[in-house]
């Protein structure tokens, strides 16, 4: 093992590409589909403009919880600006102490701590030194951002080669990275010095924030990982080669056109494979790495992945890569529910009926990130809603299309699902609750979250500047999902998906911003939506429209009195019902109140604001309708009753 590692490390040190050597031990090679080039469809090759290419040789030593790494980075200046420095993310240093920005949320024990031990760095073959950059004066000891000073500026199309030799102790798992307690499961993410993004003449290279994700350029990744023989290794990209020795297995992974690389090593994973065939006949290899006690979830995991691929291929666009790996993490790992290029992590409860929509919803959400942030590589630190909100929206659409409505439920003793509503618990034991099988829309979960934080922050706010985690979750996940559902209801599903296809095809393998998406919407919508983005996206307004009264005046004349009680403005359709007809009125929603007078040959039985529930932000659906007389059999009454009880249940959840 040591001799093998030494040879490979020397090859790396000499600057020879990993792709140019072959280990001489017996090997098991994986055939490469001719439709692909280094893991990406040939038809997509020119669209991924690689800025930062990485190659690694990793010696994984689980007996010491240690990885030893040789890293080569080639960075290209693809801009019109010059730079005489290279900024690097050192994300692993977030685990260095409790004085980092990251640790203000995740308090680290001694077992959770680690840092990059950099042995040497060269820039174009010459020894260089890192300079740490303090981005936040409140955390002067945070060392997750550094820079290298260059001897001369890099002009347009110039490149630089950086070599880094370092060691990294793998800590007990905290937030995505580390070894699971009591298990030989290692999840290795944000583990290597990684170039920031050079954009408009400035480096975008933010610290590791506690609940935010990342931003990086596309590139080609090559990794050779040497692990003990009893360990399986899975990673971003295609497994191009496995070499067996007496003491070790050496895995070689390659992937083009991605912006991150993560891997897992475990002595206790079961692997299953499937093939997914696209409409054009090309195939995607689906890898499933499962905990032995979760083998029963394999078909459910596989079905959720296949359903997600089918949904995106039909409604958004093609998945451009050759492989996709689902990693089922153990309960003691903090790495579950996270996305990386061609790979994502999930977990499942011991008991989880299909009616709970778990783990299917988690699979759909993490899969959706393969598109939103995977291929559409937005800045998650500045505009997290562009990936989290979109993933939440598409996951909800996938669930309702393939699985129907879920059932409201709560967990007894933290894990056993009980259908109904839990109003009050003590030590995980329900005290006040109802047991009833109540179906819900997937977006109802976002409504529940939204009710927890109606006005603190807006979707348009810079994500890392939001004041707390709840505000971040609501403005990155919940409100954006509701915004997208609402846009769909305004424009119609077919029109909206057509716009999403255009957005995806225009910005794939690029760095779209919120303004780009909004412009695609505005340029392709048939109606003016300036009011929508002003009220829903930019502001943190509360929306509520209500029917004040509906009364008969004299003869055939009636009067409808409607009111806007929130700050948010939203145009409103109004339906006025008689026994055999429906009158339609429209209100621009701008004034605080409005009175409609109209005549009808038939007796008016009721009226309803926003009958198609386009405005999911309306705070109280129950006051949107009114009956002139009680009619418990009327559809209007049933509709109002349903929305009243469901919305109130969600608001109760939101207040707990």
Q: Do the beta carbons of residue 421 and residue 430 sit within 8 Å? A: no
Token couple for 305: 């992945």
Which residues, at least 6 apart from 350, have a Cβ–Cβ distance to it below 8 Å? 293, 415
* Count of CB atoms situated within 10 Å of the CB of 368: 28
b/e burial code for range 456-472 (CB count within 10 A of at least 16 → b): bbbbbbebbebeeeebb
Q: Do the beta carbons of residue 512 and residue 386 sit within 8 Å? A: yes
DSSP 542-595: -B-EEEEEEEE-STTEEEEEEEE-SS----EEEEEEESS-EEEEEE---SSEEE
User: CA dihedral in degrees (170, 258, 273, 56; nearest 10)?
Assistant: -40
Which residues, at least 6 apart from 118, have a Cβ–Cβ distance to it below 8 Å? 130, 164, 165, 166, 193
The pLDDT of residue 74: 98
The pLDDT of residue 642: 46
Condensed to tens digits (0 to 9), the pLDDT of residues 1-41 reads 444 444 444 433 333 333 333 333 334 444 546 788 899 99
Upstream peptide bond of 359 is cis (omega within 30 degrees of 0)? yes
Strand-pair partners of 625: 608
Token couple for 648: 């109130």
Coil/strand/helix, residue 490: helix
Q: Tell me how far apart the alpha carbons of residues 422 and 411 are, in angstroms, rounded to a whole number.
A: 9
Coil/strand/helix, residue 507: helix
Token couple for 216: 């990086």
* Count of CB atoms situated within 10 Å of the CB of 67: 25
The pLDDT of residue 33: 66
By CB atoms closer than 10 A (0-12, 13-18, 19+), residue 404 is: exposed
Strand-pair partners of 543: 618
Q: Which domains occur in the chain, in start order?
A: 545-655 (2.60.40)
Coil/strand/helix, residue 402: helix
For the chain, residues with pLDDT lower than 50 are 1-30, 32, 632-644, 655-656
Residues in the chain: 656
Element (H, E) at 518: helix 514-524
Comparing CA positions, the residue from 344, 336, 338 lying closest to residue 309 is 344
Q: What is the pTM of this model?
A: 0.92
Q: Do the beta carbons of residue 78 and residue 49 sit within 8 Å? A: yes
The pLDDT of residue 30: 47
């Amino acid at each position: 093992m040591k001799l093998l590692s030494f040879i490979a490390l020397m090859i790396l040190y000499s600057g020879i590409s990993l792709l140019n050597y072959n280990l001489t031990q017996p090997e098991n090679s994986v055939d490469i589909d001719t439709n692909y080039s280094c893991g990406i469809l040939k038809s997509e090759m020119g669209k991924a403009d690689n800025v930062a290419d990485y190659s690694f040789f990793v010696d994984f030593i689980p007996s010491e919880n240690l990885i030893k790494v040789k890293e080569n980075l080639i960075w290209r200046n693809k801009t019109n600006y010059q730079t005489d420095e290279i900024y690097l993310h050192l994300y692993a240093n977030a685990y260095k102490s409790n004085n980092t920005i990251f640790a203000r949320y995740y308090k680290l024990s001694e077992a959770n701590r680690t840092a990059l031990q950099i042995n040497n760095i060269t820039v174009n073959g010459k020894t260089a030194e890192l300079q740490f950059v303090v981005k936040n004066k409140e955390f002067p000891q945070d060392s997750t951002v550094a820079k290298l000073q260059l001897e001369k500026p890099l002009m347009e199309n110039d490149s630089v080669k950086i070599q880094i030799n370092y060691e990294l102790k793998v800590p007990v798992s905290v937030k995505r990275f580390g070894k699971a307690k009591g298990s030989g499961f290692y999840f290795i993410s944000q583990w290597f010095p990684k170039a920031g993004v050079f954009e408009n003449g400035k480096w975008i290279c933010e610290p590791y924030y506690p609940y935010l994700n990342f931003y990086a350029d596309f590139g080609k990744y090559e990794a050779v990982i040497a692990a003990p023989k009893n360990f399986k290794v899975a990673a971003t990209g295609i497994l191009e080669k496995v070499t067996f020795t007496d003491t070790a297995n050496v895995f070689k992974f390659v992937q083009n056109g991605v912006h991150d690389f993560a891997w897992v090593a475990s002595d206790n994973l079961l692997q299953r494979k499937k093939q997914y065939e696209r409409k054009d006949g090309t195939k995607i290899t689906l890898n499933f790495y499962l905990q032995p006690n979760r083998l029963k979830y394999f078909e459910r995991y596989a079905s959720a992945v296949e359903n997600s691929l089918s949904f995106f291929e039909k409604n958004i666009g093609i998945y451009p890569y050759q492989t996709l790996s689902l990693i089922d993490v153990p309960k003691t790992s903090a790495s579950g529910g996270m996305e990386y290029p061609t790979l994502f992590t999930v977990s499942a409860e011991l008991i989880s009926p299909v009616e709970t929509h778990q783990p299917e919803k988690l699979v759909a959400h993490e899969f959706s990130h393969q598109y939103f942030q995977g291929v559409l590589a937005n800045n998650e630190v500045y505009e997290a809603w562009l990936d989290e909100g979109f993933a939440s929206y598409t996951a909800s659409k996938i669930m309702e299309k393939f699985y129907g409505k879920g059932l409201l439920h709560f967990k007894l003793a933290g894990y056993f699902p009980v259908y109904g509503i839990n109003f009050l618990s003590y030590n995980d034991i329900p005290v006040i609750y109802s047991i009833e099988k109540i179906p819900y829309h997937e977006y109802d979960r976002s409504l529940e979250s939204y009710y927890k934080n109606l006005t603190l922050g807006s979707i348009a706010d810079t994500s890392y500047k939001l004041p707390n985690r709840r505000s971040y979750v609501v403005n990155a996940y919940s409100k954006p999902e509701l915004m997208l559902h609402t846009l769909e209801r305004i424009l119609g599903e077919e029109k909206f998906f057509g716009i999403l296809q255009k957005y995806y095809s225009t910005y794939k393998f690029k760095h779209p911003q919120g303004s780009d998406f909004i412009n695609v919407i505005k340029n392709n919508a048939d109606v003016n939506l300036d009011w929508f983005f002003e009220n829903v996206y930019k502001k943190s307004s509360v929306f509520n429209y209500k029917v004040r009264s509906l009364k008969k005046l004299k003869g055939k004349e009636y009067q409808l009195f409607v009111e806007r009680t929130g700050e948010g403005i939203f145009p409103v359709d109004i339906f006025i019902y008689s026994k055999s007809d429906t009158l339609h009125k429209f209100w621009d929603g701008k004034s605080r109140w409005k009175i409609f007078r109209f005549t009808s040959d038939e007796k008016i039985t009721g009226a309803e604001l926003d009958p198609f529930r386009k405005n999911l932000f309306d705070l109280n659906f129950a006051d949107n309708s009114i009956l002139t007389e009680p009619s418990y059999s009327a559809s209007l009454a049933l509709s109002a009753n349903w929305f009243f009880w469901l919305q109130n249940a969600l608001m109760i959840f939101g207040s707990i």
